């Protein structure tokens, strides 16, 4: 059978969401600069959703967009804009789509960037966990693996620039240098287990550490990462 020339299908992507809570251009510029200095490679050419729900109606969207782009981000859409918001027409005229948040966006967590997911109760999340996903080949840079309603087990190495996302726990039996996000649907009981920790970013239910925030004694070691009293905690695996 002849293959169709195009197809349009639904899919899942992990995107950064930048929440703007102040219209001050200089403050936005300074805040973005400081954040990017923490992990330049992580943010370079990163696609991003801009949430404007915290902006007042008099914000200068044109200048704000220019500032965000000047820092190397690729703005792919805007969320948090109501039908009556005067900014809506300006945003549309700037060539960007207005995104509905009825379906929440899974996002990597960065300071004023945070996971924007629906918080389910512990019971409802546990009931949705399905069969564990097992990956036994290397996960290369640029690849993304998402285990929806399931745990994810990787029996190999994870390269820098790769991304592992799971609604459940994540186990990595190899060296991990990419991004690892467990409890992506909001379950704070999920954990990350790995045998050689060099991750660019680790996140449990939206709480995160970049590589330079992981305690140095755990770098390259076997460790488990989890939330305790809403704070990320790390221990050696015995």
Predicted confidence at residue 64, as pLDDT, reads 94
Q: Which domain holds residue 217?
A: 122-236
Mean of the per-residue pLDDT values for the chain? 82
Q: Are residues 126 and 198 in the same domain?
A: yes
Q: Is residue 7 a part of any domain in this protein?
A: no
C-alpha span between 212 and 119 (Å, rounded): 28
Q: Are residues 45 and 90 in the same domain?
A: yes
Predicted confidence at residue 16, as pLDDT, reads 78
Q: Are residues 40 and 87 in the same domain?
A: yes
DSSP state of 213: G
In a 10 Å sphere around its CB, with 0-12 CB exposed, 13-18 middle and 19+ buried, how is residue 91 labelled? buried
Q: Are residues 131 and 95 in the same domain?
A: no
Predicted confidence at residue 14, as pLDDT, reads 62
Q: Are residues 91 and 139 in the same domain?
A: no
Q: Is residue 110 a part of any domain in this protein?
A: no
Q: Are residues 211 and 169 in the same domain?
A: yes
Predicted confidence at residue 129, as pLDDT, reads 53
Q: Find the CATH number of the domain harbouring 78.
A: 3.30.70.260
Predicted confidence at residue 130, as pLDDT, reads 63
Q: Is residue 173 a part of any domain in this protein?
A: yes
Q: Are residues 75 and 138 in the same domain?
A: no
Predicted confidence at residue 4, as pLDDT, reads 80
Q: Are residues 180 and 225 in the same domain?
A: yes
Answer for the pair 101, 111: CB distance below 8 angstroms, yes or no.
Answer: no
C-alpha span between 199 and 33 (Å, rounded): 22
Q: Are residues 74 and 31 in the same domain?
A: yes
Predicted confidence at residue 118, as pLDDT, reads 35
Q: Are residues 69 and 141 in the same domain?
A: no
Q: Is residue 228 a part of any domain in this protein?
A: yes
Q: Are residues 82 and 129 in the same domain?
A: no
The 10s digit of each residue's pLDDT in 101-139 is 544 444 433 333 332 333 333 333 344 556 789 999 999
Predicted confidence at residue 36, as pLDDT, reads 81
Task: Choose among 177, 178, 174, 224: nearest CA to 204.
Answer: 224
Sign for the CA dihedral angle at 142, 147, 151, 156 comes to negative
Strands (E) located in 15-104: 16-19, 47-51, 74-79, 98-99
Domain end marker among 99, 130, 150 = 99
Q: Is residue 170 a part of any domain in this protein?
A: yes
C-alpha span between 25 and 155 (Å, rounded): 46
Question: Angle formed by the axes of helices 61-70 and 25-38, to 10°?
Answer: 20
Give pLDDT < 50 ranges for the chain: 102-127
Q: Find the CATH number of the domain harbouring 196.
A: 2.160.20.70
Q: How many domains does the chain have?
A: 2
Predicted confidence at residue 11, as pLDDT, reads 59
Q: Are residues 156 and 229 in the same domain?
A: yes
Answer for the pair 118, 185: CB distance below 8 angstroms, yes or no.
Answer: yes
Q: Is residue 117 a part of any domain in this protein?
A: no
**Secondary structure element (H or E) that encloses residue 111, with its range:** none
């Amino acid at each position: 059978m002849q293959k169709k020339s195009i197809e349009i299908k639904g899919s899942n992507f992990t995107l950064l969401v930048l929440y703007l809570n102040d219209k001050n251009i200089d403050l936005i510029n300074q805040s973005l600069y400081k954040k990017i200095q923490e992990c330049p490679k992580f943010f370079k050419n990163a696609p991003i959703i801009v949430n404007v729900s915290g902006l007042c109606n008099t914000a200068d969207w044109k200048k704000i967009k220019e500032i965000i782009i000047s820092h190397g981000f690729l703005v792919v859409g805007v969320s948090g804009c109501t039908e009556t918001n005067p900014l809506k027409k300006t945003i549309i005229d700037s060539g960007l789509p207005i995104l509905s948040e009825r379906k929440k966006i899974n996002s990597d967590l960065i300071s004023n960037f945070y996971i924007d997911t629906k918080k389910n109760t512990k019971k409802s999340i546990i009931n949705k966990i399905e069969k564990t996903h097992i990956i036994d080949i290397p996960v290369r840079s640029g690849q993304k693996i998402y285990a929806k309603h399931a745990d994810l087990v990787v029996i190999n190495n994870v390269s820098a620039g790769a991304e592992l996302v799971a609604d459940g726990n994540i186990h990595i039996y190899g060296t991990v240098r990419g991004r690892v996000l467990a409890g992506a649907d909001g379950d704070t009981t999920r954990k990350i287990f790995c045998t050689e920790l060099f991750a660019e970013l680790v996140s449990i239910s939206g709480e995160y550490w970049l590589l330079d925030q992981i305690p140095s004694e755990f770098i390259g070691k076997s460790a488990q990462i989890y939330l305790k009293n809403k704070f990320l905690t790390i221990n050696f695996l015995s």
